[in-house]
Structure 1
Amino acid sequence: MNDSTSRFPGKSILAVCLLALLNFGCMSSASPGESFLRLEFNGIHQCSLADDAKDIKPIAIRNIDCLPNLDRTAVMFSENNVLQPSQAWYWEGAPSEIVTQYLVTGLTCSKAFRVVWPYKPRIAHEAVLSGRVEAFEVSRTPSLAFRVVIYMDVWGPTAKEWISGRSFTAEIPMSTITADNIAKAANKALDKVLADTLTWLDNKVAIAE
């Protein structure tokens, strides 16, 4: 045999060892750690539900909708009209699930409503609340903030008579981008949307008695 490999066996062994070392290094390199951001209604541990409370309005809540590419567990970052999902930070659920749970818990703890959820048409209720998430993101422009936009409709008991609709927006400024800052800002944004929703339902929407 007179090829270069047979003449220089050391080079062949060295090449194999180098390749194995590179492969091991690539396989053993640690991937970025994943963190899951937890959100919860801030008042849930303080609210006490009274079964004998008066003037409680039964309201049914339909699961909130969201466009498929926005309804992801990855934290979304926006800059102008471009959205990019995080590769390391994730919510415990998709935005539509988070907003639905926030509304269910918040309206229950408000003591003004008896919530019917999951939505079941045959259970007596005076109104139906539905909606969609239009933004749930860390916005980089024009300034750093967490931004939530939710449009909601309230319908009559049969969900056929439209009563009113409104878009709710909350932007909470952030000093820096960290997982903890994002979670805290998102909580504050949802708190604001919930408070505005309760005011809207109490004062602006004529729910039949």
Structure 2
Amino acid sequence: MTRLFLAILFSILTTGCFGQPGVQQFLRIEAVKSPCIQTRTAHDTMIAVKPFAVFDYLDRLAVLVGEHGVYTPSLEWYWEGSPSEMITGALVAALNCQPGFFARTPYSPSMPHDLVLSGRVESFAVHTEASLFFQVRFHYDVYTKRGTTWLMADDVDVRVPVRALNPVDIAESARQALNKATTNAANSFAHAMTQEISDDL
């Protein structure tokens, strides 16, 4: 199984000691070049990936801390990109690790493509119930080129323990969860679509 390598970078918006109250810290999970990224060939199946939709309560940069279904946005910790941007970008990178497929975003009807993939972010948050964990959950659908015929769907839900409630540990767990969730999704997609293509031959 190929792995999507991600790096974590931090930047401090205002001066002050790390972790000091009132200091806003931006957490960024950034995909970096990995050996599995391939060069597009003329025979690749082109995937146009639409930006993922997101529930209203998740549509924010503040890190969300959830407990028993109640989500509280942090006043100090913020992602440098929205959950939709991070999941969409990581999934495109993971899909490009699958031989025979090439994914592109943002979506445009005029861009060359064979399939359309769209999805919805359902969780991107720290949970503090019985134990600390970070959850990445999303749903995606795949359609034919014109979006008229549905081909497949999948629900992805990954939880990774968080060592402590601080920005370093939260970002590391988020990195692992995002990596595993998007890699799992790309593997499931490739398996289903390869079978679909074989059946059509």
Q: TM-score, normalised by structure 2?
A: 0.80
> Quick check: 1:97 aligned with 2:97?
no
Paired residues in the alignment total 178
Distance of 1:193 and 1:49 partners within structure 2: 20
Distance of 1:198 and 1:138 partners within structure 2: 24
Tell me how far 1:191 sits from its aligned partner: 0.7
Tell me how far 1:47 sits from its aligned partner: 4.4
Q: Identity, % of aligned pairs? A: 33
Secondary structure, counterpart of 1:104 in structure 2 = helix
> Quick check: 1:196 aligned with 2:184?
yes
- Give the number of the structure whose residues are more often helix, by fraction: 1
The equivalent position to 1:33 in structure 2, one of 23, 35, 47, is: 23
**Which residue identity is paired with 2:61?**
T
Name the counterpart of 2:11.
none
Name the counterpart of 1:64.
52
The equivalent position to 2:39 in structure 1, one of 45, 50, 61, is: 50
Deviations 1:123-161 (A, max 9, x none): 332211100100100011132100011011111111111
Distance of 1:48 and 1:170 partners within structure 2: 23
Structure 1 or 2, whichever has the larger Rg, is 1
Distance of 2:133 and 2:154 partners within structure 1: 22
Secondary structure, counterpart of 2:176 in structure 1 = helix
Conserved? CA contact 1:36–1:92, under 8 Å: yes
**Which residue identity is paired with 1:135?**
S
List 4+ stretches of structure 1 deviating above 4 A. Answer: none
Gaps of 5+ in 1: 1-29
Tell me how far 1:192 sits from its aligned partner: 0.8
Gaps of 5+ in 2: 1-19
Task: Please give the residue correspondences for 1:178-193 in structure 2 after superposition, counting only pairs within 5 Å.
Answer: 178-193=166-181
Distance of 1:116 and 1:93 partners within structure 2: 18
Conserved? CA contact 2:21–2:76, under 8 Å: no
Tell me how far 1:171 sits from its aligned partner: 0.2
Conserved? CA contact 1:74–1:85, under 8 Å: yes
Tell me how far 1:33 sits from its aligned partner: 0.1
